[in-house]
């Protein structure tokens, strides 16, 4: 399979949207483009599994490499392993759902869809890249549209949030850039940005000690590493629905993917040394995020803080440095992406109808909007880690992997992470109890309409993804585990 | 070996029911939903009876010992070569017995609900949830892997949540459903960590492997689990104790019982199925499933099981004597009876005569399912008739509800342990086991059994005797007992409550699978039975006719009565811990800290940058003269530096 198609399709879609004659056309173009992308992601999954079952155990499959800037040894180098395939699948799910829930955007529709699709192109490029330079390029492509999406189509204190988000993420990117350059210049006399080459080199430990933290924190800002997570609540609450979905579903995963693929894989010795700090910060994020969520009243803040907590699991899995924990971390990336996108989608649906996101003003929505309320239930249950949904599988894999590390510190961190399942249940049930259950507080709500076709379709797509992992996790496990194994080989050495 | 496909059908039929009714119930099936759910359930019941017959009489026994059969196993999530979550089917005496109990009681409840829930707005949703619960519970009992049981454990919990909150527009139902879920979730945290501990030391998640590795004397795994310790307690004791916490939460053992009485907010058939007969005994089942590990490797944990069970039995019985809501009385009596099952397990040992407690516990689980489901369904019929849960609104109903009256009486005699009703046999066995192993627990059990007889007959006399029923506040009530769909399940369960005691349980279920002879000990039975009779007589003396005697007694026992009436203030303690400590001392500071300190730093950085740039932006003024001066100063400064350095 030619991976460049995955970049070409969103690029062409974005151009076509710009050429569209009216808003409606741009909608359908975006939908068609994301549907093709969705199909391509499944084609990739199929082609990848086909190659693997036929005994092709290359680290990266479908590799393409063209010299781009020979003087600096930069090349257009792309390829995928199981982890990247999982992330591309996730992106495809979020993009199509995001396009669908944005159907009602009327202000500057064309530009809105253009930015959404541009962002997805950046994300695909990021997950495909095997060259750190183009990886960084795509990272930036995925960040800048965020600023505009929030600044123009946002709500509330949107300028503040857009600035905060852009500045913090840019700060993260700056650290990443320094880290990447550091690796470039310490990669021997024949300097290289090539991930596969770097993965064979042994960067001196002193160099790793300096650049690992830069890269990990830089990428960590994206994935809500404590204490660099405060853009998350403000950014999400001001973003338009699809913006929040992309932000939590894709952007935060760029960070965790970077932490794993770039920081941990390429600098395994420092990863081992700094692991206790990573574990400490992520255990704090998990519990602290969960407790902070308990006190929130705004639905978007609830989900944003819970994202801090849930993304803590990803970093915890990465920090634990066992095969199972890393597999779990990747599963959690996919699971959290789908689940949180679903959550933001349903919050958007509720907000569009009730014009409030304050839980204490709602109540009894089940009576008037059974479909939307059912989605809310499902998103909530997935979030609190109910078996049958993806969150359970990912969390349990992380717990099992973490417990393999003996030593009191690791055990305490794991138990602390486990404790969050209770706190999560508290805040999720509180949100469910106050919004969809209980008596109707506002009589105007009796007129509200249930979900429309586009909203239903978006929700069903995401729910099917969640259930496909929750009920049959073996396919994702088989996909991701070999990738985790490759990373672990460097760690164990 | 049985065919795995039709055994798998037992849980899969209710699952199909859930999917069908959940997706299409509201639009397509509407009022037929109940019939569809019931028919699927009936098929599942027939299959499970068939399996039980086959297992117990045809293929289950090899050389006089019942075997553990695993007709199906699929690696669902593989962690490493040894560690994997499998979805499998286990057939052994207790799982087969539970299959029968769950499908049978569920079928009765399905039938009963056809009439009881008729006309409800979310009728099809009710049946969908009921099917979901039955599926989860069946999946739980046939689990072959400790993580599989955890998965279904959680699913059972969520079905319970959905059904307690079935009347989602009632704030009390919402609160009760939340409480049930969160309290059991808290207990499940123990379960989860227990799984992690046990799987770490045994190196497996498979029940069979885990049990054999942790019980084989001298095995490396057992040695490691016994020698490594944390806070002076061995890893295996920790692991089993933590798992027992999970079981105690689900089975409403003290002090994790607070959710059960509130769970009575759910529709009464749900209480009968989930909160009396099946889900709440899951904790007992879990301990029984891991019994060899408890008994052989972690006797300390088993002691805890015994005392927690005994204390719960007694405490619940005391509270039950003071409650006035009939469903709550039944809820506490459930807790008390599960306490019996727990301490029976707790006093048992592995194998032979000393395993009597194990057999007795399972026996009581079986008989209790019958008579407690019957009690709840009767209560449902009564509530349906008087539209109230309060004893004060009842009385003299024996003429209005003759079938219910007789059925209720049978169930009461059974739970009070009066021969020849089923409860008598199972309770005698439990008391005998306790007598042989632990006298303290025997006396607690004996006292509790007297109180059980008292509060059950207090209930019986208050509902059906006491005073004449005045019709005025239920004038719209002409439906009487409610027809065959209500009475037939009652009659069937009443028959079950009588005959199930005569099953020679020791032939089928014992701690090591071989036959355990359980005789009838007339001399031993004299004491418990006479205590039960005394309890009944006191209840009859106080409540058969309307009088002021009960009030006089309760006011003479002022302090004790009040404390018991307020359930020993355990709810208040929990409320204090959650509201005051968790919310105010942890949650609120965390949220404040995040907004003001962490985010404050971010904003501070941003603002400082802005302020500084505001201050220094004047330097780049664009005025050439100013630049010339800066240039001059700089040049002189550099020159001075070079010259005088």
pLDDT, tens digit (0-9, with 9 covering 90-100), for B596-634: 888 888 888 888 888 888 888 777 777 888 888 888 899
User: What is the rounded CA–CA span in Å between residue B12 and residue B7?
Assistant: 9
- Checking if the pLDDT of B473 tops 60, the result is no
User: What is the rounded CA–CA span in Å between residue A259 and residue A26?
Assistant: 35
Other CB atoms within a 10 A radius of the CB of residue B520 amount to: 10
Query: Dihedral through CA A291, CA A295, CA A298, CA A303, nearest 10?
Result: 10
Contact between A167 and B199 using a beta-carbon 8 Å cutoff: no
Pairing of strands B65-66, B61-62: antiparallel
- Checking if the pLDDT of B240 tops 70, the result is yes
Residue, of B29 and B499, whose pLDDT is higher: B499
Domain of A48 in residue numbering reads as 4-491
Question: CA–CA distance from B493 to each of B104, B124, B328, B422, B531 (Å)?
Answer: 10, 25, 21, 12, 26
Contact between A291 and B165 using a beta-carbon 8 Å cutoff: no
Q: In this prediction, what percent of chain B has a pLDDT beyond 90?
A: 34
Per-residue pLDDT reduced to its tens digit, A94-131:
999 999 999 888 888 888 999 999 999 999 999 999 99
Confidence band of B560 (pLDDT split at 50, 70, 90): confident
Report the mean per-residue pLDDT for chain B: 87
For residue B283, the distance in angstroms to the closest alpha carbon of chain A comes to 19
Interface test with B, best of A237, A320, A394, A433 (most B CBs within 10 A): A433
Name the least confident of A346-355, A432-441, B435-444, B582-591: B582-591
DSSP 3-state percent helix, strand, coil across chain B (nearest 5): 75, 5, 20
Per-residue pLDDT reduced to its tens digit, B534-544:
888 888 888 77
Nearest to A230 among B188, B200, B599 (CB): B599
pLDDT at B25: 80
Confidence band of B475 (pLDDT split at 50, 70, 90): very low
Chain centroid, CA B588 distance in Å: 32
Task: For A405, name the nearest residue in chain B, comparing CA atoms only.
Answer: B200
User: What is the rounded CA–CA span in Å between residue B372 and residue B362?
Assistant: 15
User: What is the rounded CA–CA span in Å between residue A330 and residue A263?
Assistant: 15
Confidence band of B333 (pLDDT split at 50, 70, 90): very high
pLDDT at A167: 86
pLDDT at B478: 55
Instruction: Answer whether the bond into residue B420 is a cis peptide, omega within 30°.
Output: yes
User: What is the rounded CA–CA span in Å between residue A413 and residue A313?
Assistant: 11
pLDDT at B552: 77
Closest to B461 (Cα-Cα) out of B364, B542, B571: B542
- Checking if the pLDDT of B476 tops 70, the result is no
- Checking if the pLDDT of B424 tops 70, the result is yes
Three-class SS of chain A: CCCHHHHHHHHHHHHHHHHCCCHHHHHHHHHHHHHHHHHHHHHHHHHHHHHHHCCCCCCCEEEEEEEEEHHHCEEEEEEECHHHHHHHHHHHHHHHHHHHHHHHCCCCHHHHHHHHHHHHHHHHHHHHECEHHHHHHHHHHHHHHHHHHHHHHCCCCHHHHHHHHHHHHHHHHHHHHHHHHHHHHCCCCCCCCEHHHHCCCCCCHHHHHHHHHHHHHHHHHHCCCCCCCCHHHHHHHHCCHHHHHHHHHHHHHHHHHHHHHHHHHHCHHHHHHHHHHHHHHHHHHHHHHHHHHHCCCEHHHHHHHHHHHHHHHHHHHHHHCCHHHHHHHHHHHHHHHHHHHHHHHHHHHHHHHHCCCEHHHCCCHHHHCHHHHHHHHHHHHHHCCCCCCHHHHHHHHHHHHHHCCCCHHHHHHHHHHHHHHHHHHHHHHHHHHHHCCCCCCCHHHHHCCCCCHHHHHHHHHHHHHHHHHHHCCHHHHHHHHHHHHHHHHHHHC
Total number of residues shown for chain A? 493
pLDDT at B467: 76
Contact between A425 and B182 using a beta-carbon 8 Å cutoff: yes
SS3 B405: helix
Q: Do residues A25 and A38 touch, judged by C-beta distance below 8 A?
A: no
Pairing of strands B69-78, B65-66: unpaired
> Once rounded to an integer, what is the mean pLDDT over residues B212-221?
84
Nearest to A393 among B77, B171, B582 (CB): B77
Low-confidence ranges of chain A (pLDDT < 70): 493
pLDDT at B471: 60
Pairing of strands B69-78, B84-91: antiparallel
- Checking if the pLDDT of B477 tops 70, the result is no
- Convert A432-468 to b/e letters by CB count within 10 Å (16 or more is b): bbbbbbbebeeeebeebebbeebbbbbbebbbebbbe
Task: For A481, name the nearest residue in chain B, comparing CA atoms only.
Answer: B79
User: What is the rounded CA–CA span in Å between residue A460 and residue B386?
Assistant: 44
Tell which A residues from 161 to 220 touch B, by Cβ distance under 8 Å: 163-164, 167-168
User: What is the rounded CA–CA span in Å between residue B165 and residue B176?
Assistant: 7
- Checking if the pLDDT of B8 tops 50, the result is yes
Best-predicted range by mean pLDDT (A330-334, B315-319, B590-594): A330-334
User: What is the rounded CA–CA span in Å between residue A208 and residue A342?
Assistant: 38
pLDDT at B472: 54
Name the least confident of B121-125, B292-296, B476-480, B490-494: B476-480
Provide the ipTM. Answer: 0.92
Contacts with A469 from chain B: Cβ below 8 Å:
none
Consecutive H or E run containing B168: none
For residue A301, the distance in angstroms to the closest alpha carbon of chain B comes to 11
Residue B466, strand partner residues: B545
Closest to B441 (Cα-Cα) out of B254, B311, B281, B253: B311
Q: Do residues B429 and B518 touch, judged by C-beta distance below 8 A?
A: yes
Residue B78, strand partner residues: B84
Burial of B555 (0-12, 13-18, 19+ CB in 10 A): exposed
Nearest to B76 among A296, A433, A473 (CB): A473
Contact between B83 and A400 using a beta-carbon 8 Å cutoff: yes
Longest CA–CA separation in chain A, Å? 73
Question: CA–CA distance from A13 to each of A31, A139, A244, A250, B73 (Å)?
Answer: 9, 19, 21, 19, 47
Counting the structural domains of chain A, the total is: 1
> Once rounded to an integer, what is the mean pLDDT over residues B570-576?
80
Burial of B226 (0-12, 13-18, 19+ CB in 10 A): middle
């Amino acid at each position: 399979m030619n991976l460049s198609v995955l970049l070409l399709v969103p690029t062409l879609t974005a151009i076509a949207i710009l050429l569209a004659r009216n808003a409606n056309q741009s909608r359908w173009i975006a939908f068609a483009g994301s549907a093709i992308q969705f199909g391509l992601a499944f084609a990739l999954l199929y082609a990848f599994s086909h190659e693997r079952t036929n005994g092709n155990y290359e680290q990266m499959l479908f590799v393409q490499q063209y010299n781009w800037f020979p003087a600096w040894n930069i090349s257009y180098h792309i390829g995928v392993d199981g982890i990247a395939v999982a992330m591309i699948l996730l992106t495809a799910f979020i993009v199509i759902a995001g396009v669908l829930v944005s159907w009602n955007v009327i202000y500057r529709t064309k530009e809105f869809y253009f930015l959404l699709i541009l962002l997805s192109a950046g994300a695909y490029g990021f997950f495909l890249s095997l060259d750190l330079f183009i990886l960084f390029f795509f990272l930036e492509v995925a960040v800048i549209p965020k600023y505009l999406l929030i600044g123009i189509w946002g709500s509330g204190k949107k300028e503040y949030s857009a600035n905060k988000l852009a500045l913090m993420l840019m700060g993260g990117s700056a650290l990443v850039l320094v880290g990447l350059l550091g690796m470039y210049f310490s990669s021997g006399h024949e300097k290289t940005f090539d991930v596969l080459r770097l993965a064979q080199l042994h960067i001196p430990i002193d160099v790793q000690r300096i650049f690992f933290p830069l890269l990990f924190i830089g990428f960590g800002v994206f994935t809500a590493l404590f204490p660099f997570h405060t853009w998350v609540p403000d950014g999400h609450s001001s973003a338009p629905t699809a913006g929040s979905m992309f932000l939590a579903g894709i952007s935060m995963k760029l960070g965790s993917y970077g932490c794993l693929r770039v920081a941990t894989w390429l600098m395994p010795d420092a990863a081992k040394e700094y692991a206790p700090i990573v574990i400490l910060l992520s255990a704090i994020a998990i519990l602290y995020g969960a407790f902070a969520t308990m006190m929130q009243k705004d639905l978007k803040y609830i989900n944003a803080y819970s994202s801090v907590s849930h993304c803590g699991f990803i970093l915890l899995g990465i920090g634990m440095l066992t095969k199972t924990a890393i597999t779990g971390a990747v599963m959690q990336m996919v699971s959290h992406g789908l689940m949180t996108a679903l959550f933001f989608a349903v919050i958007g649906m509720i907000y569009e109808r009730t014009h409030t996101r304050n839980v204490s003003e709602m109540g009894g929505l089940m009576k008037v909007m059974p479909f939307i309320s059912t989605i809310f239930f499902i998103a909530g249950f997935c979030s609190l880690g109910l078996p049958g949904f993806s969150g359970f599988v990912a969390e349990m894999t992380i717990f099992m992997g973490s417990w393999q590390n003996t030593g009191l510190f690791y055990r305490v961190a794991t138990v602390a992470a486990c404790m969050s399942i209770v706190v999560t249940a508290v805040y999720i049930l509180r949100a469910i109890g106050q919004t969809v259950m209980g008596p109707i507080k506002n009589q105007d709500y009796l007129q509200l309409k249930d979900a429309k076709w586009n909203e239903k379709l978006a929700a069903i797509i995401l729910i099917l993804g969640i259930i496909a992992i929750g009920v049959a996790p073996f396919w994702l496990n088989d996909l991701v585990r070999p990738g985790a194994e490759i990373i672990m080989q460097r760690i164990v050495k | 070996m049985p065919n795995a496909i039709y055994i798998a059908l037992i849980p899969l039929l209710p699952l199909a029911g859930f999917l069908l009714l959940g997706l299409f119930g509201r639009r397509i099936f509407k009022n037929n939903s109940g019939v569809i759910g019931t028919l699927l359930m009936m098929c599942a019941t027939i299959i499970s009876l068939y399996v039980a017959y086959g297992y117990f009489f045809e293929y289950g026994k090899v050389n006089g010992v019942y075997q553990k059969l695993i007709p199906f196993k699929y690696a669902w999530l593989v962690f490493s070569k040894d560690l994997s979550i499998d979805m499998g089917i286990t057939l052994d005496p207790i799982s087969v017995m539970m299959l029968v109990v769950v499908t049978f009681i569920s079928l009765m409840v399905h039938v009963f609900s056809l009439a009881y829930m008729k006309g409800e707005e979310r009728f099809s949703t009710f049946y969908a949830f009921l099917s979901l619960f039955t599926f989860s519970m069946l999946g739980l009992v046939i689990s072959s892997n400790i993580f599989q049981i955890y998965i279904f454990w959680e699913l059972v919990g969520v079905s319970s949540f959905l059904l307690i909150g079935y009347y989602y527009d009632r704030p009390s139902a919402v609160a009760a459903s939340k409480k049930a879920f969160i309290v059991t979730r808290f207990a499940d945290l123990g379960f989860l960590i227990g799984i992690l501990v046990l799987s770490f030391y045994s190196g497996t998640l498979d029940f069979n492997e885990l049990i054999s590795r942790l019980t084989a004397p001298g095995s490396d795994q057992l040695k490691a689990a016994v020698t490594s310790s944390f806070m002076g307690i061995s890893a295996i004791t920790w692991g089993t104790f933590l798992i027992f916490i999970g079981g105690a939460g689900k089975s409403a053992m003290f002090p994790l019982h607070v959710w059960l009485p509130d769970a009575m907010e759910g529709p009464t058939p749900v209480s009968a199925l989930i909160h009396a007969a099946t889900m709440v005994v899951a904790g007992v089942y879990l301990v029984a499933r891991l019994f060899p590990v408890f008994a052989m490797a972690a006797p300390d944990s088993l002691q805890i099981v015994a005392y927690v069970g005994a204390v719960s039995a007694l405490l619940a019985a005391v509270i039950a004597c003071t409650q006035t809501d009939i469903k709550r009385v039944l809820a506490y009596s459930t807790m008390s009876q599960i306490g019996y099952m727990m301490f029976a397990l707790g006093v048992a040992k592995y194998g032979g005569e000393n395993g009597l407690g194990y057999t007795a516990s399972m026996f009581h689980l079986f008989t209790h399912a019958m008579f407690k489901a019957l009690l709840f369904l009767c209560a449902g019929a009564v509530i349906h008739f008087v539209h109230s849960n309060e004893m004060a609104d009842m009385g003299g109903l024996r003429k209005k509800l003759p079938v219910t009256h007789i059925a209720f009486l049978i169930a009461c005699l059974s739970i009070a342990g009066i021969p020849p009703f089923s409860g008598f046999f199972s309770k005698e066995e439990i008391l005998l086991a306790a007598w042989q192993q632990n006298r303290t627990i025997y006396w607690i059990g004996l006292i509790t059994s007297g109180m059980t007889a008292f509060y059950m007959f207090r209930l019986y006399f208050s509902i059906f005797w006491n005073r004449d029923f005045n019709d005025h506040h239920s004038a719209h009530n002409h439906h009487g007992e409610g027809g065959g769909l209500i009475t037939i399940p009652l009659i069937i369960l009443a028959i079950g409550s009588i005959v199930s005691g005569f099953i020679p349980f020791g032939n089928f279920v014992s701690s090591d699978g071989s036959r355990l002879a359980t005789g009838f000990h007339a001399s031993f039975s004299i004491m418990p039975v006479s205590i039960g009779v005394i309890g009944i007589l006191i209840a009859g003396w106080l409540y058969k006719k309307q009088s002021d005697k009960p009030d006089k007694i309760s006011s003479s026992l002022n302090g004790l009565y009040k404390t018991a009436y307020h359930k020993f203030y355990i709810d208040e303690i929990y409320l204090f811990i959650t509201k005051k400590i968790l919310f105010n001392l942890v949650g609120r500071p965390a949220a404040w800290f995040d907004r003001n300190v962490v985010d404050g730093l971010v904003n501070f950085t941003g603002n400082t940058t802005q302020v500084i740039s505001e201050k220094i932006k004047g330097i780049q003024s664009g005025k050439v003269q100013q630049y010339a001066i800066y240039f001059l100063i700089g040049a002189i400064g550099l020159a001075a530096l070079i010259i005088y350095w």
